[in-house]
């Protein structure tokens, strides 16, 4: 009888019977083969075993593959040489457009009109705000995606800042994540999470300034628009926190993609669907890691510190051109500038944010060389974001050789 059982063993099992063990005295029957996929070396253990990816690596498996690569080959702010080249080209084109709109002659005049010590202090305030945001990104990456090499983190962050500064509505902030190789879903989650933090903090600062310090000077549309934006941000944060709805979307895409087979030309056609499904699972895992009490508290504290450094940067830039503002007007003008830039169809809110900013300050009785101020402000941000991004790209390209 036992011989018959061995003869009927399913295909794929070794013909030799395994040795008896303590839980199977005498070897009365061989252990039943497990239907579960073998546990991967980096499985976290416990709970339901992970589903084996169909076709190309997807979801957590793709992220683990990226995480286990050598540091010099891992996330370098873009999908290898091609991704970095595309990001560099996009940044160069947008930077050229901005300089053309500002005007080289007017930019030089603004620089020459500025007080030198205060100008250097202003640039120092800008770098302080960027250092705090870079520290926040390093922390978020470690929590949600894995520790990156410091140069890779800085390269990725400065491209986010550069492309966000030079695109309408700061949508360019998402381009580095989309251009990345592995871990794209996690990077999109971190970018979204950071965008929610930055927007809500700036809005709350502005609403506080208008509500308690400049109630009579608030533009008619600012308060309702800001409250609507804050409600939209709160809804977005809630959906990212309660992200179980992503599971059904990812599984539906994966079933459709896997239903037609996974080999040959059909497999190549279905691969994007599988990658999308894996990216959605990756985003879900990252959001779960980010929306934890300690992570939220730490990242919020770094965001508030960075916004405070932004206020120092703006204040010293005002002072170096002889414009003096009260604390309430300073906070309100920064918030108004950023909120109007969010809805502006022009790169970086150029023209739209500037007009709203100047009209607001003049309505409160403040006069000064606002044109030179805005040119100087945008010039400092663009130049001292572009230079680190391009230098880091060149350094990473050199180290890659």
Whole-number Å distance between alpha carbons of 134 and 177: 16
Cα–Cα distance, 18 to 398 (Å, whole number): 54
pLDDT tens digits, one per residue of 81-95: 555 556 666 666 666
Centre a 10 Å sphere on the Cβ of residue 58 and count the other Cβ atoms it contains. Answer: 27
Residue 197 lies in a domain: yes
pLDDT at position 94 is 65
Does 48 map to a domain? no
Per-residue pLDDT of 188-235, as tens digits, reads 999 999 999 999 998 888 888 877 666 666 666 777 878 888 899 889
In this prediction, residue 271 carries a pLDDT of: 52
Domain that holds residue 244: 78-400
Residue 229: inside a domain: yes
Measured between alpha carbons, how far is 144 from 49 in angstroms, rounded to an integer? 20
The predicted structure's pLDDT at residue 294: 94
* Separation of CA 251 from chain center: 24
> Using alpha carbons only, what angle is made at residue 179 by residues 174 and 182, rounded to the nearest 5 degrees?
110
- pLDDT value of residue 390: 86
What's the 3-state SS for 239-259? HHHCCCHHHHHHHHHHHHHHC
The structural domain count of the chain equals 1
Asked if residue 185 belongs to a domain, the reply is: yes
Instruction: Identify which of 26-40, 113-127, 351-365, 373-387 has the greatest average pLDDT.
Output: 113-127
pLDDT tier for residue 258 given thresholds of 50, 70 and 90:
low
What is the pLDDT confidence band of residue 352, given thresholds at 50, 70 and 90?
confident
Residue in 182, 212, 224, 144 with CA at minimum distance from that of residue 56: 182
On whether residue 55 sits in a domain, the answer given is: no
Among 150-159, 246-255, 273-282, 352-361, top mean pLDDT goes to 150-159
183-187, 271-275, 276-280: which is most confident = 183-187
| pLDDT-based confidence at residue 291 (cuts at 50, 70, 90) | very high
Residue 4 belongs to some domain of the structure: no
Residue 367 falls within a domain, yes or no?
yes
Residue 350 lies in a domain: yes
pLDDT at 49: 39
Of 61, 55, 59, 57, nearest in space to 258 by CA = 55
DSSP assignments along 259-313, one per residue: TT-SSHHHHHHHHHHHHHHHHHHHHHHHHHHHSSHHHHHHHHHHHHHHHHHHHHH
């Amino acid at each position: 009888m036992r011989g018959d059982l061995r003869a009927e063993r399913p295909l794929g099992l070794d013909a030799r019977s395994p040795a008896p063990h303590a839980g199977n005295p005498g070897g009365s029957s061989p252990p039943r083969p497990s239907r579960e996929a073998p546990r991967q070396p980096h499985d976290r253990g416990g709970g339901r075993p992970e589903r084996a990816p169909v076709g190309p690596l997807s979801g957590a498996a793709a992220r683990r593959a990226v995480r286990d690569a050598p540091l010099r080959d891992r996330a370098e702010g873009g999908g290898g040489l091609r991704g970095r080249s595309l990001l560099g080209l996009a940044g160069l084109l947008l930077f050229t457009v901005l300089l053309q709109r500002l005007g080289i002659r007017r930019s030089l005049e603004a620089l020459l009109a500025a007080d030198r010590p205060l100008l250097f202090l202003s640039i120092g305030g800008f770098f302080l705000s960027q250092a705090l945001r870079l520290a926040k990104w390093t922390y978020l990456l470690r929590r949600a995606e894995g520790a990156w090499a410091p140069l890779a983190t800085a390269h990725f962050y400065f491209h986010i800042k550069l492309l966000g500064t030079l695109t309408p509505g700061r949508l360019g902030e998402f381009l580095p994540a989309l251009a990345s190789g592995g871990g794209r879903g996690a990077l999109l989650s971190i970018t979204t999470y950071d965008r929610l933090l930055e927007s809500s903090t700036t809005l709350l600062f502005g609403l506080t300034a208008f509500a308690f310090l400049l109630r009579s000077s608030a533009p008619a549309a600012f308060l309702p628009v800001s409250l609507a934006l804050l409600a939209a941000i709160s809804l977005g944060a809630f959906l990212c926190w309660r992200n179980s709805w992503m599971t059904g979307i990812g599984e539906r895409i994966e079933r459709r993609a896997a239903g037609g087979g996974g080999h040959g030309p059909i497999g190549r056609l279905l691969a994007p669907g599988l990658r999308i499904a894996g990216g959605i699972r990756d985003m879900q895992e990252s959001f779960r890691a980010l929306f934890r009490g300690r992570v939220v508290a730490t990242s919020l504290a770094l965001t508030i510190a960075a916004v405070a450094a932004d206020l120092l940067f703006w204040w010293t830039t005002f002072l170096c051109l002889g414009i003096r503002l009260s604390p309430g007007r300073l906070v309100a003008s920064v918030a108004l500038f950023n909120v109007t830039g969010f809805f502006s169809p022009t790169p970086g809110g150029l023209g739209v944010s500037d007009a709203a900013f100047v009209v607001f300050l003049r309505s409160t009785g403040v006069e000064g060389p606002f044109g030179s101020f805005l040119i100087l402000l945008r010039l400092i941000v663009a130049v001292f974001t572009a230079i680190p991004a391009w230098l880091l790209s060149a350094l990473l390209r050199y180290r890659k050789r």
